[in-house]
Structure formats: structure tokens, C-alpha cells
Chain A
């Protein structure tokens, strides 16, 4: 294996932002290749700026490179300018670490977080010089792997990947390495590819699409069945039992050039028990596993000293829900290793209440650039449907708290096209925003609210997986309603996502294997980077669907019935299908569901099925949460300073070096 650097270097003088392709980041590992080592090329199918901060990729990069039998490098989707030059001069896809050709690796492993990058996967496989369709690959081609949230329905990519991995990768990458290591040792003889895939299919969490037969009855999916007895009928996801055993990344990558997140990220917990019914991440990452407070502190201190970042982002699906959040944020400047410069903390997923804003104010470094909240729906009724039970008082309390503490603007995220949505719910978005501006104007004349409106895409493994997505025209009409109403509302700005792209996202999110032909057509027609508006053209997708004889309405806009076989029924995130169905019915009946960390278990299936428990860092729920935590504190305009103060004296004694576990009643 040799470096392609000498051939890549002259191209870099001709492209935008060439630093994306050089590697050399702080935290980059000098890879040790060798015959006894399985070589992984970890690929993020989007630009370097978006891909580099990705935590999943960084974690696996480190874990694999710590092994004696593995080596891992990274690659990202080259931007169109470089891709053009690479194709013109026959330079294949390369790693950024040592600029080796992708085809020289044993595995090309994609991290997929969003549906609209699917066509980039095809493009990168092709750029690597590997046949795009898995059926055409030989023993000497790398194995093409897919992981990340999209692995929970990889069917639209089934023709192009060799296998998918469901759930968390920390443990399973080692098991995969061992199987591939043996295959390498056996000489990867001609015809041995199916054999190694059969072996891989026995690894829990690994799904090999080519080992399943799919039957249709007209347009309807009838069954997905394994072709061999040793291939599992249902593939279950992987989840680590305790985050405390995985303090990764230990050496975070700090980019040499500007990327989307210029800060240290520390994952404080994984999973979410709030059950927001539209949120796929919340369902597929259960149960909640919090990292011990002491470990979070240590990771901050180590990460800051090896990257030099002065900002730390505490990551999770809802960081204010971290049960040790107050102890953690109050001790954070002690944890910072450089007494000279202060470290600011950002909470990327703010819960909507005054307590959370108080927390954000306390830990930020004085900059008040903007706060973002996600009420998601414009009325209490609809928020019950989606189980995001934020009251108007919560929102107004949060906004009051923000504007009174120096912020001038806030962004509110909403979804259009949610189940049962009426025009009253839709226009209610503007009423909420207008009221927020009024509250803000009491504190500053500059107060403004930006409404960010996205079209709702029903996702697999959620209670809304049966819902027929709104048509593009309907979404457009709803967005126009909001824009019209906002024209009369002073201080309210509206931004919206292209509903046509929302359709394409819906198509890939719940598609089955028949979408493979569509993916290939869109890609061959030049449809890469589809989440970038300058590259997206809906006609490409419509033409590809028509050419494959498939109906967009059938795949995207149709409501599914209880008995329908869904394309991902043979893939399990641990959730009982009847639990999801009951949740779907409860949604339509406008009934909410509590956060099961603090209330009785309703048996969604994950803890019981995997023998896991929610693991929390503190035995009491975080303060201030009125949204399903079983507490109704601080439900209003005041920052609960007294509440923060009350705990202050006793924290240090309370904090043990180990975390406590709360037993969830079965």
C-alpha cells in the first residue's frame, strides 16, 4: 500500500479549502498497517467540515487503532471540485491520514446519520474503484459497511452494501475485525466473499442484506426471510451496557481548518426516555445511560489540554435532562486545566424551560449570540400528540429568562405536517413566536424570534412510522400560512426547509429494496450532496421513481396499517411493535407518556429485551423539568436561583466517584 499524496498534492492548488484533504489534525493517529491487521477506512459521506466533528467516527477510529489486529483511517466526501479532478486524473478515493487508496483497505465503513446523503455513499464506493453493486464484488474488494442511525432501515442501500451494523459500534467493531482477520489469514480466496458474509451474519448486530429473500405481493411487501438457518430472522441492535466503560474519544480530533463544531464535545449520556413520538434518535438509542460526573469532568480536562479548545459542548439528546447537570456545571471551571482562560460550555440541545436557560446563562462565557428551543408544534393539543409536552408557560418562562439575561434573539424549531395537524395548530406557531417577541420587548427593543420550519418526515422505529407524510403541496401550503401570518408579526422571522427535499428524505427513510434502482439513477444523474440546496433537484427523484415504475405516493404519502409488513420489521432496536402501535393510537387520542426514568416502566421492550437498565448519574431527577419528569418545578418566568442555591452546599459531599443506578421496575 502506498501513499497517493504525490498525485493528490497538485490537485489541491485548484480546489476550495484544500485543508480538508490533508489530515494532520491534533488527535490524528499514525496508523500502523501490517499483514496481521484488518484495515478499516471509516467514511463519512458528507463534507469534511460536517464529518470531522462526528463523535461516532472518532470513537471507532480510536478503539480500532488501539487494537493489535486492526488499523483505522478516515475519509470524507470530496467536494465536487476535487471529485472532478480526481475522476479526470484517475485518482481514487483516499484516506486523509496517509492518503492511501480506499481500495487498499479491508473495510469501507460508512457512518450514516441522514437519508439525503445516501447517494454520496454510492458515489464514494464508485470513486474508490469498487463496483457499486455488492453482487458484483470479488474477494479482493473491500467489504462495504454501513452504520449509524440510518442502519435501522438500510433497505434502500441494500444492493450497494455488504452489511449493516445496528446500534452502537464500540464492541461490535472488534468482533467484526476478528472475522475479517481470519478471512484475511485464509488468503481471501476467490469465491470466499459469501463465506465471510455468512460468518459476519452470526455476529449480533450485523445484518447482511444479501442473505435475505424479499417477497412482494404487488406493491406490498410480503416477507423478508433469511436464506439460511444460521442467518437470524431478526437482527437486534447492539448497545453498550455502561458508558462509563467507554470514555472515548480520549484524544479528540481538533481540525486544522474551520469545521461546523469548533469545540470539544463530551457525550454526557446516550439514549432518551422522553418518548417524543416523532424522534427516531430517542427511540433507537434507548435506554438512557448517563456517564458518571467524575468521568465527564476528567474527559473535559483531558480534552481541553490536548486540543486547546476553550469551549466544551455537553452532548446528548437533551442535556438539561442529565441528572447530574447542576453538580457538573458548577464544578466545571475547576475541571478546566488552564487557570488563565475560562472554558465556556454550550448545551446544544436545550430543553424549553426557565431552568435550562438559567443553566445556559450560568455556563456561557458572556457571549449571548442566540438560543435555540424546539417546541416542535404550535399548540398544546398537538404537542400532546407528539408527546413533547411543553406548556406555553414553559416556553414563555424560557424566553423571559433568556431576554432578561442579555439574549436578544432566539430561534424556535417547529415541524409542519405532524399527525392530526390543523391550520389552527400551524398558525399557532406564529402566535407563540409573537408572544415571545412581546416578552422580549419588555427587556430589549432588539428582541427577535426566528421560526425555523421543517417538514415532518415519519421515521422507522417510531410511533409515527405508520403515518402518511404530508404531500409537498400540503407542506408548502402550511409553510405559506406561517409566512403570511408572520408578515403581520413584528420581530418574527421565518426560515423554512424545501418541502421537495423533505419528500426525498421521506422516500429514503421508509423505502424498501426497490428504492435501490432509484438511488442508482439519482446518483448516475449527478445527484450527490442532496442535502445541499445547490445540488438538489426534485425532478431527478421523480424521474428515477417513474423509470423504476414506483409511486411516490405509495412510498411517502400513504398511511400504513397495523398488519402491514414494514421494510424494517426484521431489524430491531429492541422496541416492541405493539408498544409503538399503542403509542401511535395514544398519539391520535392526544394522550401523553411520561419519562420512564422517573416513573413506572411501560415496557417498550428495550431494557427487558437487552437486559439493560437506565443508568443515571444522580438518583434524583434534574430540577426544573415540567415535561414528563414527574416534577413540576419552576414552571414559569423565574430562574430557580433558590433551587440552584439549595443544592450548592451539599454537592461535593453527595458526589461519589461512582454513579448510582436506579432500578427500573420490570
Chain B
């Protein structure tokens, strides 16, 4: 049975990397003894594939992975979700386990955009409104960035699909809400903050990054991979 899983990653655990998360899942599955299907070959690997990497330090309400159970094993899916949550480190909560739709593309290929909520420190609300409006009105937004020692100057404006400054309930600090495209090199939330506030240190300004949605394209319409009830502003839990 092929399954698609949605889970959160909140609190201290956000400082673990995407690779670490994969390891947490592998160990959790072994801990509770869920029989997975294995790949063929000399060193068989359990059939698990993970979605788009979440930057180390970012939290998420919408992480996804696909996994395939061993043939003949057909557990009750809600119970399986609870069991995964109990075996994973604190900070993860498995919110959905559903059968993977027939013919669905892989998570890596299918996701076209993500929604990010960025809590800012040291920026005034009205200043943020203005910066967002200005950026959205511009045809281009150039940033200088580096990957593997290679510096490049890129126009990241096309990667910003939607962006707004948002009031965020009980939180006193201003928040940036942005839907960013994932195709090509994409745009990381921290890079976006750097592009909006070129005179500030983006690491200093970015107090918290939360991924709230991952979107796939279905016949030209953006859809959440597994839709969840809107509780975006839920306070992230600490693990201790």
C-alpha cells in the first residue's frame, strides 16, 4: 500500500536538517515495526521518499513524505498516524496518513509553490506594509546570492507569487506572508527578507520562519497536497 503522510515540525527540532528528518523517520518506522516495502538490489532500502527540503531552522505545519508498506500489511490509517507521532521525536505531529492517489507525481516534482509565514524582529508594521507594496509593484527584484562558492545575481521577482504583510493574532511582531515558487532555484524565505531589507542583516531580522502550505498544480489550480483545517497561527510547541 502506497501512503502519503503530512506532518508538522515545530519547536527545537527545527534546528535539525532535512537529512536528519529522514533519519528520524527511518528510526521511527523501525521502532514501531511498521513493515515497509524495500527496493530491489544488493543493498535494499526501505521505500520512503521525502518532499522538498525544509531549511534548517525553519518550522513547518505542512511537511510531506511518501512511503510504501510491505505487501499484505493494511493498517488502520489514523492509528498509524498516532503511532508515527509517538515514535518520532517531540516536535513532530503526524496529522494525516492517506492512500497516495493513483498516478500522482512525486512530491519533489509535484510541488510548485510553498506558503511561508516569516516573523520579523526590528521592523515596524507600517514599514513592512510599504516595503511589500513597493516590491510587488516592481517588475524585477535583483539579489546577489552564492551557491557552492559561485556568486550570481538573480531576478527573484518572478518567484514571488503572492506577498502580504499580515497581522498575526497574539504575536506582537509583524509577519510577512509569502507564496514562493519552487521551480528552478526558487527563493528561500531568508533570501526574500534580504531582498526586501537590503540594509539589514536578514538573520537578525528573521525571528521565525514557518512553512504553512505546500501547493501542487491541478489543472491550472493551486491545491494543497493534503488539505488541513486552517490553524496557521497555532503557537509552535517547544519540546521541553
Contact = CB atoms under 8 A, between A and B. Distances in A.
Interface of A: 5, 10, 12-14, 18-19, 21-26, 30, 97-98, 254, 256-258, 262, 304-310, 337-341, 365-367
Interface residues of B, number: 34
Given A22-B15, A256-B20, A340 B91 contact: no
B70 A308 contact: no
Which residue among A5, A24, A98 has the maximum number of chain B CB atoms within 10 Å of its CB? A24
Given A13-B57, A18-B56, A19-B56, 14 more contacts: A13-B206, A23-B12, A24-B89, A24-B90, A24-B240, A26-B27, A26-B89, A98-B240, A256-B20, A257-B17, A306-B31, A307-B31, A308-B30, A340-B35
Contacts of A307: 27, 31
Interface string B186-216: 0000000000000000010011000000000
A18 B57 contact: yes
Contacts of B85: none
Nearest to B206: A13
A304 B33 CA distance: 11
B89 A19 contact: no
B166 interface: no
Nearest to A99: B240
B13 A22 contact: yes
14 contacts: A10-B207, A14-B203, A22-B16, A22-B239, A26-B89, A30-B240, A256-B89, A257-B20, A258-B19, A308-B26, A308-B27, A340-B35, A340-B36, A365-B43
A616 B89 CA distance: 38
- The dominant DSSP class at the A interface is loop
B87 interface: yes
Contacts of A256: 13, 16, 20, 24, 89
Interface string B73-91: 0000000000000010111
A262 to B, nearest CB: 8
B239 A24 contact: yes
Contacts of A22: 12-13, 15-16, 239
Nearest to A341: B30
B89 A308 contact: no
Nearest to B32: A308
A308 B15 CA distance: 21
A143 to B, nearest CB: 26
A256 B26 CA distance: 12
Interface string B24-52: 10111111010110000011001000000
Given A13-B206, A258-B20, A23 B33 contact: no
B202 to A, nearest CB: 10
A308 B203 contact: no
Contacts of A340: 33, 35-36, 70
A367 B27 contact: no
Interface of B: 12-13, 15-17, 19-20, 23-24, 26-31, 33, 35-36, 42-43, 46, 56-57, 70, 87, 89-91, 203, 206-207, 238-240
Q: Lowest 3 CB-CB distances: which A-B pairs, in order? A: A308-B27, A308-B31, A18-B15
A24 B12 contact: yes
A608 to B, nearest CB: 46
Contacts of B15: 12, 18-19, 21-22
Contacts of B36: 340
Contacts of A30: 240
Nearest to B238: A5
A336 B51 CA distance: 31
B16 A19 contact: yes
A23 to B, nearest CB: 7
Given A12-B15, A338-B33, A340-B33, A23 B240 contact: yes
Nearest to A26: B89
A340 B203 CA distance: 44
A254 B26 CA distance: 13
Contacts of B12: 22-24
A534 B149 CA distance: 21
A13 B27 contact: no
A5 B206 CA distance: 17
Contacts of B89: 24-26, 256
A5 B203 CA distance: 18
B127 to A, nearest CB: 21
A309 B26 CA distance: 9
Contact of B43 (A23, A306, A341, A366): A366
A310 B31 contact: no
B91 A24 contact: yes
Nearest to B27: A308
A292 B67 CA distance: 40
Given A23-B12, A24-B90, A366-B42, A338 B203 contact: no
Contacts of A365: 43
Nearest to B31: A308
A519 to B, nearest CB: 33
A24 B13 contact: yes
Q: Which of B13, B19, B23, B203 has the most CB of A within 10 A?
A: B23
A319 B43 CA distance: 26
Contacts of A254: 27
A19 B13 CA distance: 8
A406 to B, nearest CB: 10
**Which of B13, B70, B206 has the most chain A CB atoms closer than 10 A to its own CB?**
B13
Given A13-B206, A97-B240, A19 B17 contact: yes
Contacts of A258: 19-20, 23
Nearest to B121: A10
Contacts of A19: 15-17, 20, 56
Nearest to A97: B240
B69 to A, nearest CB: 10
A367 B16 CA distance: 28
A593 B65 CA distance: 59
A26 B16 CA distance: 14
B59 to A, nearest CB: 12
Contacts of B30: 304, 308-310, 338, 341
A339 B30 CA distance: 10
A246 to B, nearest CB: 25
Contact of B16 (A257, A338, A339, A366): A257
A27 to B, nearest CB: 11
B152 to A, nearest CB: 23
B87 A308 contact: yes
Contacts of B31: 305-308
Contacts of A367: 43
A366 B35 CA distance: 20
B27 A309 contact: yes
A339 B12 CA distance: 33
A12 B207 CA distance: 11
Contacts of B206: 13
B204 to A, nearest CB: 8
A308 B57 contact: no
A262 B91 CA distance: 21
Nearest to A14: B203
Contacts of B87: 308
A306 B33 CA distance: 11
A348 B240 CA distance: 35
A562 to B, nearest CB: 55
Contact of B28 (A10, A13, A308, A310): A308
A30 B238 CA distance: 14
B203 A13 contact: yes
B165 to A, nearest CB: 22
